[in-house]
Structure 1
C-alpha cells in the first residue's frame, strides 16, 4: 500500500537564536526605538510556548561558545602546580623586630612565640597547683 505524504502544518523547529533574530530584526527606520518595538513576524507565525521553550533549551548550546562548557578532565598534578608557581618566590619580611621581653625575633605588632609559650606553661603550672582542671577557664 502506498503511503501518502500529507503536508504538515508545523514547520521544523528553529534554533532559539534564529527565532530571536527574526523577532527583533531591525527595519530601516529613522527612530531606532520604533524599529525594535514591533516583531517582524506576524503573531500566527510564532510557535507555541512549549515549542519555544524546547527550542530555547536546545538552542542554548548553540548560543554559548564551547569554551564555556569546558571542564577539566583530570586533576592538576603536583608537578604542574609547582611549575606554574615556580616564579613566585617567598617575599622577604621587612617587619621583623626583636622582642623586648626575651630578645627573640618576632613580627612587629604580634606576640612573641617564646614569651607566649612561657606564659602558657606558667598558667598550666599554676592551675595544676590550685587543682583546677585544664578545661576550666580562669577569668
Structure 2
C-alpha cells in the first residue's frame, strides 16, 4: 500500500464514524422536531385602527376571533378596512406574520451533512481498499 493510501485510511475511518455516530442521531432528532411542529395556516385579516395603533383582525381555523395591535410606525400605508394575507401558527395563533415562516431546522440540516460525510467516507474507504 502506498503512503498516501496509508494516511487516508485512518482519516476516512474517523470521518465514517464521526459522520454516522453524530449524523444519524441529529437526523432523527431533526425529523422528530419537524413532525412535532405545528403547521402555519394562511387567512385573510382586516386592518383596523385603535388610538395610535393599527391592528389586524382575523378568524382562525376554529372560528375564534383574534386581534393584534402594532404601532403606526410599523404599519405604514395601511388603510382601515384593507384586507391582508396573514399567516399564523395553528397551535399558537398568537404567533403570526405577514410572510410565511421559513422552515429552519439546524439539527436536520447538520444531520444530513454529517450522514452524507459518513456515507462518502465509507465509499471512499472501500475504493481505497482495492487500490
TM-score computed with the length of structure 2 as normaliser = 0.25
Q: 1 or 2, which has the higher helix percentage?
A: 2
Higher relative contact order (CA 8 A, sep 6+): 2
The TM-score, its normalising length taken from structure 1, stands at 0.24
Highest Rg: 1 or 2? 1
Which structure features the higher share of strand residues?
2
